[in-house]
Amino acid sequence: MKINYDYTHTGDFEIKVTTFFGLEEILADELRRLGGKDVEVFKRGASVVGDIGFLYKANLCLHTALKVIVPIAKFTANNEQELYDGIKSLEWERFISNTDTLMMEAVTNSEIFTHSLFVAQKAKDAVVDRFRDKTGSRPDVDLIHPSFRLYIHIFKNEVTLNLDSSGEPLYKRGYRSDINEAPMKEVLAAGLVKLSGWEKHLQLVDGMCGAGTIPIEAALWANNIPPGYYRNEFTFMRWHNFDEKLYDTIYESAISKITNDPIDIVANELDTTTFKKAVTNTKNAKVDDSVKCFNENFFDLMPTRKGGVLILNPPYGERIPVQEIEKLYKEIGDKLKKDYKGYNAWIITSSPEAVKSIGLRPSRRIHLFNGSLECRYLKFELYDGSKKASKNPDTMTRR
């Protein structure tokens, strides 16, 4: 079986980066801007070609990435034995030793292999059995901080083995000290900001900010703060070929690009307990100078600029029960029409019936998922005066 990558490889190799459904093009653009080559989009991700330094940079700097993985081998398996034999035949000693720890994670889309936990267990057995046969001892399993994470993907009878270079999913930035009842993943929040078209000379308002994730992610974009800045570890740091000096150089280069431009981001949350979490999180993320937190009812919140972007993640009536959900959405529509003229308002929701109560026609609909909930991200252009006048760049308020 051909190995596509090993730790002695110093040139370019294929890297795959996963993301949430609907954010693929945003991720691909990020990869190109980082200097990745041959970027190609696939469902819930993108592939790219780069060297080991690019792999470090991707983990540190990508806003909309969940995992950065390296395909190392592919084969077909039509039954349990062929799966075991294929994995055992790989020269795992080129990657790990008896003193390393390992963890297996599997995702399957196959009528042959229907249980991901079974596949992960079989993969573990194959690797440790190879070491036991060759050396008399075996690596241990560590589900918390393994030095080696193998990600197995099976589609029909095609088995792909991948090195997981990230470890904990990259949405676990490290700045969020606590979460509210229905937390939005940081990667999705970053995607919502980018999809909205917001630019840092405009005001950004999140009227129902929860723990502050969307405003914080906006501040990271605007200030060129790498999302991995808050993390202490990526799994690649435990690899045999980890080049600490190279990583330090990449890290220092990324940090040197951080800006401190004046930015107008409003984070508003009605619930006092959740509001306190938002304040704490903005401080943890070191963006409390860019994000102003307010503890008000959205319907009492007034914009302080003539134009900008408003993002709302209102209750869907699913995870958080909301009485008279349609009435709430009608009130949102009335508020937008009355007080947010000149803004582009974006609402993410999984309540298609409630959206009708807003009383505005969306100019754009984007299909996304917030966790397991199928959502639409809707754009409402709230013109101040005529449509023609609203597009005049001279009417834009700039700082």
In order of 47, 149, 173, the CA distances from 67 in angstroms are: 12, 12, 12
- Does 85 lie in the same domain as 120? yes
pLDDT at 386: 44
In a domain, 1, yes or no: no
Q: Is residue 389 part of a domain?
A: yes
Q: Where does the pLDDT of residue 391 fall: very low under 50, low under 70, confident under 90, or very high at 90 and above?
A: very low
Asked if residue 204 and residue 59 are part of one domain, the reply reads no
Instruction: Express each pLDDT in 15-25 by its tens digit.
Output: 999 999 999 99
- Here the CATH number for the domain that contains residue 49 is 3.30.2130.30
Give the mean model confidence (pLDDT) for residues 31-52: 96
pLDDT of residue 316: 75
Q: What φ, ψ does residue 326 adopt, rounded to 5°? A: -65, -35
Q: How many domains does the chain have?
A: 2
What are the tens digits of pLDDT across the range 241-282?
A: 899 999 999 999 999 999 999 999 999 999 999 999 999 999
Where does the pLDDT of residue 348 fall: very low under 50, low under 70, confident under 90, or very high at 90 and above? very high
> What are 111-151's pLDDT values in tens digits?
999 999 999 999 999 999 999 999 889 999 998 889 899 99
Q: Are 44 and 76 in contact (CB under 8 A)?
A: no
Strand segments, DSSP code E, in the chain are 13-18, 37-42, 45-50, 67-76, 101-109, 140-141, 148-155, 158-164, 203-206, 265-268, 291-294, 308-312, 343-349, 364-370, 373-381
- Looking at the predicted structure, is the pLDDT value of residue 335 above 60? yes
DSSP string spanning 178-239? ---SSPPPHHHHHHHHHHTT--TTSEEEETT-TTTHHHHHHHHHHHT--GGGG-S--GGGGS
Highest mean pLDDT range out of 317-331, 337-351, 378-392?
Answer: 337-351
- Mean of all residue pLDDT scores within the chain: 90
Determine, yes or no, domain membership for 177: no
Model confidence at 397, pLDDT cuts 50, 70, 90, reads very low
Whether residues 239 and 355 fall in one domain: yes
CATH of the domain at 369: 3.40.50.150
What tens digit of pLDDT does each residue of 85-102 get?
999 999 888 888 888 999
What type of residue is 16?
Answer: K
Q: How far is CA 349 from CA 43, 186, 319, 367, in A?
A: 22, 17, 12, 10
> Is residue 300 exposed (0-12), middle (13-18) or buried (19+ Cβ within 10 Å)?
exposed
Q: Where in the sequence is the domain holding 381, given as residue range(s)?
A: 186-225+235-395
Considering the domain architecture, whether residues 272 and 357 belong to the same structural domain is answered as yes
**Is residue 6 in some structural domain?**
no
pTM score, two decimals?
Answer: 0.90
**CA–CA dist 17, 165 (Å, integer):** 10
Decide if 260 is inside a domain: yes
pLDDT at 384: 73
Q: At residue 68, does pLDDT exceed 50?
A: yes
Residue 178 placed within a domain: no
Indicate if 159 and 190 belong to the same structural domain.
no
Q: Tell me, what's the pLDDT at 98?
A: 87
Least confident range from 131-135, 225-229, 279-283, 288-292: namely 131-135
230 belongs to a structural domain: no
Per DSSP, what are the bridge partners of residue 218? none
For residue 383, name the pLDDT band (cuts at 50, 70, 90): confident
User: Within this chain, do residues 159 and 291 fall inside the same structural domain, yes or no?
Assistant: no
Residue by residue, DSSP assigns 346-370 as EEEES-HHHHGGG----SEEEEEEE
Cβ(398)–Cβ(201) under 8 Å?
A: yes
Domain membership of residue 142 (yes or no) is: yes
Residues 150, 217 share a domain? no
Residue pair 102/127 in contact (Cβ under 8 Å)? The answer is yes
Tell me the per-residue pLDDT of 186-204, one tens digit each, with 9 for 90 and over: 999 999 999 999 999 999 9
Q: What is the pLDDT of residue 395?
A: 35
Q: Say whether both 59 and 194 belong to one domain.
A: no
How far is the C-alpha of 222 from the C-alpha of 212, rounded, in Å? 16
